[in-house]
């Protein structure tokens, strides 16, 4: 009996022995007093890697995006975002509930926001209108199968938004996947955007944490909002140490995850009854269709789980998500593909 192959998410990664050792050895202090040297070191390195002046260690990507929205906006503002984005779909309406903000989705194509729609959506001055307070964009894009928003596209978005006096926040939960896949720096991918959240707890293999990066003034105010949300943390260098280790040692290996995702996509495309375009897979997320729609996808997911392969639950569109990550190698992907072929709706009856 071999252990299950868990392709549900890159959040299931466990810290490596070296990362645990870095956590054990971390120098600590009270970070609410600004006295935890390990947190300070993580924030400095994160700022440097993203080309920003400053950074703030936060508990999660959701908290980073919320703190960013609170910091950029005022109550009653509108936040423009993509119609498939994480902030809109999966963050418990925090912007609305806690920030008094209205989310205004525009169409997105492989993660890129429709610029004409944004132009038409940014508000002018009128007594009836809320103020447009922020544009937020996701890179890589989860629901668009890990698609990368490239530098040129980012530059056009930032130029349009800044032209209207509106700041841009990047939900870069997996921005390092984009940087590694394209061979460019995260700083270049920012293309002048005002802030970014990235996750340490996904492909980078940390147990907890995200980092919000931006200008010095922005981060000073963000620190107050983080405190307001209850996340002023004390000897949290024990967790920041994992993040520091990840930024130094876990980034380049993301290329392996991309290779394995491509291997999965090519395999899935060759299985009758499953559908994916391998050319559309940029990074570590593969979202594929199952012939017969949602009921068939539910059955397929249960069957492959019984055979030891865990996949994400089908979305509203009946498609299934698999994600490659630290701990999954090419042997695992080949075993998963063999199971998929056996459980696919059109598998030959034996
Ligand atoms: C995971 C994710 C987040 C939120 O991260 P959590 O740490 O789970 O709160 C935000 N945006 C995207 C695109 C994500 O994939």
Distance, CA 337 to ligand 1 centroid (Å)?
A: 27
Contact (Cβ atoms closer than 8 angstroms) between residue 320 and residue 339: no
CA gap 326, 336 in Å, rounded: 16
CATH topology of domain 17-249: 3.40.640
How many Cα atoms are found within 13 Å in the side-chain-facing hemisphere of 188? Answer: 11
The rounded Å distance from CA 142 to ligand 1 centre is 9
Of the chain, the end-to-end C-alpha distance in Å amounts to 23
Q: Is pLDDT above 60 for 1?
A: no
**Residue bearing the CA closest to ligand 1, atom 14:** 173
Q: Is the pLDDT of residue 67 over 60?
A: yes
Mean pLDDT, the chain, rounded, equals 96
Beta strands at 132-138 and 78-82: parallel, antiparallel or unpaired = parallel
Pocket of ligand 1 (CB under 6 A): 60-62, 86, 138, 142, 171, 173, 199, 201, 210
253-343 has CATH 3.40.720.10 classification: no
Residue 59 in this model has a pLDDT that exceeds 70: yes
pLDDT per residue as tens digits for the range 246-267: 999 999 999 999 999 999 999 9
Q: What residue spans in the chain does CATH classification 3.40.640.10 cover?
A: 17-249
Pocket test for ligand 1, best of 62, 198, 226 (most atoms within 8 A of CB): 62
**How many angstroms separate the alpha carbon of residue 4 from the centre of ligand 1?**
24
Q: DSSP string covering 77-126, please?
A: -EEEEETT-HHHHSSTTHHHHHH--EEEEE-EETTEE-HHHHHHHS--S-
Cβ proximity of 45 and 70 under 8 Å: no
Q: How far is the CA of 138 from the centre of ligand 1 (A)?
A: 10
Q: Please, where in the chain does CATH 3.90.1150.10 lie?
A: 253-343
CA 130 vs CA 69, 123, 260: distances in Å: 15, 7, 45
What confidence tens digit (pLDDT) does each residue in 91-100 have? Answer: 999 999 999 9
Q: How far is the CA of 169 from the centre of ligand 1 (A)?
A: 14
User: Which tokens in the block code for residue 180?
Assistant: 């590694």
Place 78 in a pLDDT band, splitting at 50, 70 and 90. Answer: very high
Q: What is the pLDDT of residue 3?
A: 83
């Amino acid at each position: 009996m071999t252990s299950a192959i868990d392709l549900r998410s890159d959040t299931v990664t466990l810290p490596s022995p070296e990362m645990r050792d870095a956590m054990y050895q971390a120098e600590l202090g009270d970070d609410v007093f600004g006295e935890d040297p390990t947190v300070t070191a993580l924030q400095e390195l994160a700022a440097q890697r993203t080309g920003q002046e400053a950074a703030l260690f936060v508990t999660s990507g959701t908290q980073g995006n919320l703190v960013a929205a609170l910091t950029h906006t005022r109550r009653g503002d509108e936040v423009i975002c993509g119609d498939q984005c994480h902030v809109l779909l999966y963050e418990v309406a925090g912007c609305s509930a806690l920030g008094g903000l209205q989310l205004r989705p525009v169409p997105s194509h492989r993660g890129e926001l429709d610029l004409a729609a944004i132009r038409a959506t940014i508000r002018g001055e009128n007594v009836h209108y809320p103020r447009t307070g922020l544009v937020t964009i996701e890179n890589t894009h989860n629901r668009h199968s890990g698609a990368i928003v490239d530098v040129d596209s980012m530059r056009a978005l930032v130029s349009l938004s800044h032209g209207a006096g509106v700041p841009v926040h990047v939900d870069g939960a997996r921005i390092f996947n984009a940087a590694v896949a394209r061979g460019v720096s995260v700083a270049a991918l920012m293309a002048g955007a005002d802030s970014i959240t990235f996750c340490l707890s996904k492909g980078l293999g940390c147990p907890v944490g995200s980092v919000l990066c931006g200008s010095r003034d922005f981060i000073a105010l963000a620190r107050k909002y983080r405190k307001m949300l209850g996340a002023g943390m004390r000897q949290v260098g024990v967790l920041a140490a994992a993040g520091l280790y990840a930024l130094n040692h876990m980034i380049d290996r993301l290329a392996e995850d991309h290779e394995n995702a491509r291997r999965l996509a090519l395999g899935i495309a060759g299985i009758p009854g499953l559908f994916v375009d391998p050319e559309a897979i940029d990074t570590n997320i593969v979202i594929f269709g199952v012939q017969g729609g949602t009921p068939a996808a539910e059955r397929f997911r249960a069957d492959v789980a019984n055979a030891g392969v865990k996949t994400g639950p089908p979305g509203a569109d009946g498609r299934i998500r698999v994600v490659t990550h630290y701990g999954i190698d090419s042997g695992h992907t080949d075993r998963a593909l063999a199971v998929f072929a056996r459980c696919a709706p059109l598998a030959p009856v034996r």
